[in-house]
A = this chain, B = another copy of it.
Amino acid sequence: MKYSFKNDYSEGAHPQILKALTDTNFQQQGGYGLDDYSLNAERLILEKIKNPISKVHFVSGGTQANLIVISAFLRPHESVVSASTGHIFTNESGAIEATGHKVHGVETEDGKLRPENIQKVIDVHQNKPHQVKQKMVYISNSTEIGTIYCKKELQELYHYCQERDLILFMDGARLGHALTAETNDLTMEDLAKYTDAFYLGGTKNGALIGEAIVINNENLQEEFGFHLKQKGAMLAKGRILGVQFQELLKDNLYFDLADHANKQAMKIKKAFRDKGCDFLSETFTNQIFPILSQSQIEKLSENFDFYVWKKIDDEKAAIRLITSWATNDDVVDYFAKEIAGI
């Protein structure tokens, strides 16, 4: 059996989470999010973002979070701007369009949107009402290619959006990894200040399932529960989302797990760097994209699973390696040795 670096959801949940589910198992609780654990988990999030007026809703996965947030916030004639690498643009089987909204995909070098990218889309959509109206900006942090937004970048985006009456929404499927990257300067508080809404991903950071949608903008909070129900996202046993996020957030587990994943990735990155490899992009989160020759890829493939991400030329390709909370030292050491030997 090869060890897989294909993604950060190859294992179940962190043992503390399973234990918490077991410990609370026989407590009778209200259904559909009206359980004590969900309420407590919401409170913990509000404390961490230091914003008592935000509202928190737990859903089971990222595509679900994206489609509900976007369809709840937009009117029928409004569209959303995304990087062309954005999950909603390319990896959700048309989920956003299925709710009736156009997604504009913008080419970027590093998976990150900047005001000028968005402005270009708006500039070519001035023939109202014949062209769709841009109303939301969707960003991912960390991005689908492992990069992260720094504080200044997020502030600039938010101010740009504020001036143009655009909603700024951050997909945080790997938000823990972004916030614990060694190059990061964003805080949880910043997310409450500089986005209208974001979500805190659990699935890729040690939970069985679960993303915590945080709506900061009060105008967007109203009647959100209807949208959760209508899209099939309201779990009868919402408690299992509450219990997990309570466990992840009551101390620092959420960030410890992401930090662990990042550190393992950085060790692997160093091993490739020591070997003289280049990278498709410079990342400091749990995704790395070393460029290898075909023979090197074949050699590594003998004992490890990963995606070949992008062909560089006839000889070389970038591979994608993802680490997680479950990637232990032994496997990293073993992998580093293999790398040294290619």
- Listed in ascending order, the chain A residues whose CB lies under 8 Å from chain B are 1, 3-4, 6-7, 9-13, 15, 18, 21-22, 24-32, 59-68, 71-72, 75-77, 79, 90-95, 97-103, 124-125, 127-133, 203-204, 208-209, 223, 225-237, 239-240, 326
Q: How far is the CA of A243 from the CA of B313 in the complex (A)?
A: 42
* A225 touches which of B12, B103, B128 (Cβ 8 Å): B128
Chain A, interface SS category: loop
Copies in the complex: 4
Residues of chain B with a CB closer than 8 A to A208's CB: 21, 208, 237, 240
Q: A76-B94, A232-B232 are in contact. List 5 more A-B contacts (CB 8 A).
A: A68-B232, A94-B100, A203-B236, A203-B237, A232-B233
Chain B residues lying within 8 Å of A130, measured Cβ to Cβ, are 32, 91-93, 229, 234
Q: Provide the residues of chain B in CB contact with A103, threshold 8 Å.
A: 102
Are A94's CB and B129's CB within 8 A? no
B12 x A231 contact (CB < 8 A): no
Contact A9 B128 (CB under 8 A): no
CB atoms of B76 and A227 under 8 A apart? yes
A28 to B125, CA, bound (A): 26
In the complex, the chain B residue whose C-beta lies closest to that of A94 is: B132
Give chain B residues whose Cβ lies under 8 Å from the Cβ of A97: 79, 97, 100-102, 132
- Which chain B positions have C-beta within 8 A of A72? 76
Cross-interface CB contact of A100 among B15, B98, B234, cutoff 8 Å: B98
Return chain B residues, CB-CB under 8 Å to A77.
93-94, 223, 226-227, 229-230
Contact A225 B129 (CB under 8 A): yes
Q: Do A64 and B233 touch (CB < 8 A)?
A: yes
> In the complex, how many angstroms separate the beta carbon of A210 from the nearest chain B beta carbon?
10
